[in-house]
Structure 1
C-alpha cells in the first residue's frame, strides 16, 4: 500500500479490501510507534462503538478484528498518513440518492415527511427542506415554535419557504409582522377561511415577497392599498384569487396591470350596484393576458356585462381558455355567440342559471370551439337533446359534459365522462335517458 495516497481513491467498487488487510504489515521496522485513530465524520448511529478508539502498532490481531467489523460498511476510507498514522473512516451504508428522493416524493403529507427525516442523515437532508418549503401550522403552540425557529436558526430556514397557508385562527398582525421579513422567496400565499386579523400587516407583505406568483386572499377588511402594493412589488404574480371581494373599481385594478396576471378568480360579496359592475368590467378588459377567468356570486343581472362585446377591446381576452360564471340569467344567444366566436381558444365553459340560451348557442359552440374539453350548463329550460348530440359530434375533444337540471333533457343532473362520450361517438346506445 502506498503510504502517500488514500486507499479509497485507488479502489473501485469491485475491490475487496480484505486482501489488503491480510497482507497489512504493521511491524515496527525501526520506526516510531504507529497508532490507528478512528475518525467519526459520519453518523454514529451504529451498534459498533468506535469513537476515540486507539490501537498501538503491536496489536496486529486487534487491528484486523477492528477492520473486519468496519468492512461491513460501504465506502470505508483507509488513509495512511505520512507520519505512519492509519486513519480509518467508515462511511455508513447509504441508499442511492435518487432512490431516497423518489421515496420522499411519494410522501406528500407533512407527518410522513417528519417521519422520513428521522430515518437517517441522508433522508433528513432531502425531507427537511420539503417540510420547510410548505409548512403547515396546526395550532398556536406549533405556530410559536415555528416563528422561533425561523428567527433563531443559524441557517436562514425562512428562505426555503415557497408556500404559506395562513388559513388558521392563530395568526394575528404581530405574528404576521414577525414572519414576513423572512419570506423573501415566497411564491404561493393563501390567506382564507375568514382570517380577519392580519389586515393591517398584510399591506406590508408584497415588498418583502417580490417573488409571489400565486395569491389567494380573503378580502374581508382588506383595503384598496393592498392591490396597489401587489402591483408595485409583485411583478411575477400570474394567479390571483380574491374571495368575499366587493366589486373593484377600475382604479384599484389598474395597479395590478403591472403583474402578468393569467388566472383571475373572484368570489364576490353580493352587490346590486350596476354602475360599480360596469366600472369593474372596464378595468378587467385591460387584462389581455388572461387565460382563466372565474366570477362567482355575482348579481344575476350583471352576468351579461362580463361577456358583452366592447368595440374598444375586442376581444377583451384573446388567450382565454377557461371561463366560469354563475350569473347567466340575462345572457342570451345574442350575447354568448359573439363571445365564443371571438375566443376560439376556450377549452372549458361553465354557466350557472343560463336560462336564456338555446340550441343556437350550442351550435355556435360546436362550430367555434373545436378544442372544448369541458362544458357545464345549469338550469336551462330550452336546450334539446338534438343540440347536445350535435355538440358531442362536433367537439371531438370533449371529455366532460354536465347538464344540471336542464329540464327539456332531464330533471336530474346528467354527468357524461370521456368513456360515455366516446361510446356515443362510436355508435353506442343513447347516452341521454329522460
Structure 2
C-alpha cells in the first residue's frame, strides 16, 4: 500500500470526510500519512455525555498542550456537545483547551451559571452556533453571549432572562440568522410596554432567516401580538423562511394575512393557538406557494375544507399540524391512514397530515388509496 503515500493530502482528506467515525479509527492505522489526515477529522466533533468523560477529556487535552508534539489536539476541535451534571469549574477547565470551536451545545446544564458565560467570549471567541438547555443563567450571561459572532442561538428552558435579552442581541445583528427560544421565562413579555420594546429590538436583527418563540407555560401573547402587528409595516426580515409563534391568542385572520403578505419567502409557518380561520389557510396558498410546513394546532376555527384547498394548492407541502382543531380521519376518506398522524386514544383527532405523498390522493374523486410508501413526518413542537 505504499502507493497511497503518493496521493495528495487534499484528496485523502476529501475521501475520508465521507467515512464514519468508527472506520476513521481503522484508517488512522494504515500509515503515517493517513494518521495525519484522519487526526483532524477524529477530533473535529466531540460529544461528551458524562462528567467523568469530560474530566478524562480535559486531562487528555491538557497533556496534549504541554507535550512536545507538533499537534495540539484541542486546536483541532470545532464542535462540542456536553450533556450531564456539569459545574462551572468543569466547563471552564475544559473549554480553555478548545479555543477554536465554532459550535457549542450545552444540554441539561442546570448547574452552569453566569460564572461560566462571562468568561466564554475570551476563551472561545469564534462561536457561531450556541445551544443552551436548562442553564441557570441571567441577563448578565446574555450580555456576554452577544459578544460572539453568533449565527444561530437556541435557548431552551432558561428561566432567568427578561425582555432585555433582545436588546443585548442587537450587538450581533450583522451575523445572527437563527433565533430559537422555547419554554424560557422572559420576564416583561407579558406587559404591553416592555413587550413593545422587545419587539423593536428583535426587528433590529435584520438578517434573521429563522425565528421561533414557543411556550406552553409562559405568557408571550402581548409580545407575539405586538410583533405580528408591527412586522407588516416594518418588513424587518427580507430573507425570513421560518416563523413559529406560540401562543397567538389574540391573532386574527386580518393580522395573520398582513404578516404573510409581508414575508413572502416563508416556507415554514407556525401560528399556534390563534383565532385564525380558513381565510388564513387560503391566504397561505395565495401568498406562500413554496410553503413546506404549516402548524396551526389548537386553532379551533380551522375546518377540513380549508385544509383540503391548501393541500391541493401548495404542492410542496410536507406537513400540516392541526392538533386540537376538531379534525378527524373521516374528514379525509381519500387519504391512506398512514398519511395522517392521529391520537392513540379516542376521540382520535388528526394531529398532522404528513408528507407530499398525499397530494395525488387529495386530487382524486374516487376515494381510492394510492399505494405509496410511508414517508417520515417532520413536524414542530
Q: Establish whether TM, by shorter chain, passes 0.5.
A: yes
Is the 1:272–1:299 contact (alpha carbons within 8 Å) kept by the matching residues of 2?
no
Alignment of 1:13-162 (within 5 A): 74=2, 98=11, 102=15, 105-108=18-21, 111=22, 113-118=24-29, 120-153=31-64, 154=69, 155-162=71-78
Tell me what 1:214 maps to. Answer: 129
* Worse overlay, 309-318 or 200-209: 309-318
Deviation at residue 140 of structure 1 after TM alignment = 4.0
Equivalent pairs, count: 338
Distance 1:272 1:146, change over 3 A: closer
The corresponding residue for 1:200 is 115
Matches within 5 A, 1:346-425: 346-354=266-274, 356-408=275-327, 410=329, 411-425=349-363
Q: Is the 8 A contact 1:307 1:336 kept in 2?
A: no
- The reply on whether 1:254 has 2:192 as its aligned counterpart is no
Deviations along 1:240-277, one digit per CA (max 9) or x if unpaired, are 01122348555443332232111000013357852254
Measured in 2, the distance between the counterparts of 1:100 and 1:319 equals: 34
Alpha-carbon separation, structure 2, partners of 1:185 and 1:330: 45
Larger Rg: 1
TM-score normalised by structure 2 residue count: 0.77
Distance 1:379 1:337, change over 3 A: same
Bigger relative CO (Cα 8 Å, ≥ 6 apart): 2
Q: Which moved more, 1:215-224 or 1:367-376?
A: 215-224
RMSD, matched Cα: 3.2
Q: Structure 2: give runs of 5+ residues left out of the alignment.
A: 330-348, 370-381
Question: Is the 8 Å Cα contact of residues 109 and 132 (structure 2) preserved in structure 1?
Answer: no
SS of residue in 2 equivalent to 1:330 = coil
Listed as ranges, the gaps of 5+ residues in structure 1 are 1-72, 76-90
The verdict on how the C-alpha distance between 1:198 and 1:310 changes in structure 2, with shifts beyond 3 A counting, is closer
Query: Separation in 2 of the partners of 1:331 and 1:418?
Result: 28
Report the CA distance shift for 1:101/1:287 in structure 2 as closer, same or farther (over 3 A).
closer
